Amino acid sequence: MDTAPLATSDAPIDDMAPGDVVLDCQADQIHYGDFLAVRDSHVPIRKNQITGFIGPSGCGKSTVLKSINRMNDLIRGFRFNGQVHFHGMDIYDKKVDPVSVRRNIGMVFQQPNPFSMSIYENVAFGLRLNRFRGNIAKKVEKALRGAALWDEVKNKLKNNGLSLSGGQQQRLCIARAIATEPQVLLMDEPCSALDPIATRQIEELMVQLKERYTVAIVTHNMQQAQRVADQTAFFAVDISKGGRTGYLVEMAPTAHLFENPKQKLTKEYLQGEFS
């Protein structure tokens, strides 16, 4: 598995300048069985920036995010029409192994989900999966420092990851995701299960992370998008054809979108006229 094309690709991503589109998600149609969940959404993700996905419940923002690293392949009946361009290839190409996609595009979930193993082993998990031969302890420390968790756990690395508080668990999950240094980090409402203090810590962390990684985050919290996102994509639900199909209404640099939305729907949503 670790010899799959993506893992060994030497596409010149590091030559890209910050702000270049590193991952281009063109979701024409996403189905769950017969249900059309998302249509016509084109979301470019830019290097070393945070791209925020906002919108009301059921607008398909999580579905689009989870399509980017093929997490939705785990759901029966999932079909993706469109392309996700990454490293000059289509992630949905038949030749691409979804496992190698997930090793290059990390994910942090809505609920903190550390494994029931030690803090150290949680962070080392991805390194061991990729058969990393170097100094694992060093990489674990680096990842925990990167997730702003090192000082809190350095004396109890052998404790179970589940013994930490909710906010610490989520930072542990971030450390686990960045330990293998993926180029893109997807975050699906990473703060929705956390209190305001833990939320603020994660937000500060995200801003630090974009120095080295490219981040896409789904949030139901518009203030959060305003605080952290460089680009914001606004999704809405189309109920005109009887179903509840999500689609991208508008995408722009965050300040533009919030101060000067082009679409009426965006303006109404941002002013809290519907939810």
Contact set with another protein (CB under 8 A): 1, 69, 71, 74, 99-104, 106-107, 109, 111, 113-117, 125-126, 128-130, 159-160, 162-163, 173, 176-177, 180
- Cβ proximity to another protein, 116 vs 260, nearer residue: 116
- The least CB distance from residue 138 to another protein, in Å, is 19
The string of DSSP codes covering 57-96 is: TTSSHHHHHHHHTTGGGGSTTEEEEEEEEETTEETTSTTS
- The least CB distance from residue 233 to another protein, in Å, is 21
- The least CB distance from residue 8 to another protein, in Å, is 14
- Cβ proximity to another protein, 125 vs 150, nearer residue: 125
- Cβ proximity to another protein, 73 vs 238, nearer residue: 73
Beta strands 245-253 and 35-46 are parallel
In our burial notation (b when 16+ CB lie closer than 10 A, e otherwise), range 50-80 reads bbbbbbeebbbbbbbbbbbbbbbbeeeebeb
- Cβ proximity to another protein, 20 vs 97, nearer residue: 97
- The least CB distance from residue 163 to another protein, in Å, is 6
Question: What is the rounded CA–CA span in Å between residue 240 and residue 253?
Answer: 29
Question: What is the rounded CA–CA span in Å between residue 114 and residue 34?
Answer: 34
- Cβ proximity to another protein, 162 vs 222, nearer residue: 162
CA torsion 181→183→188→192, rounded to 10°? 50
- The least CB distance from residue 103 to another protein, in Å, is 3
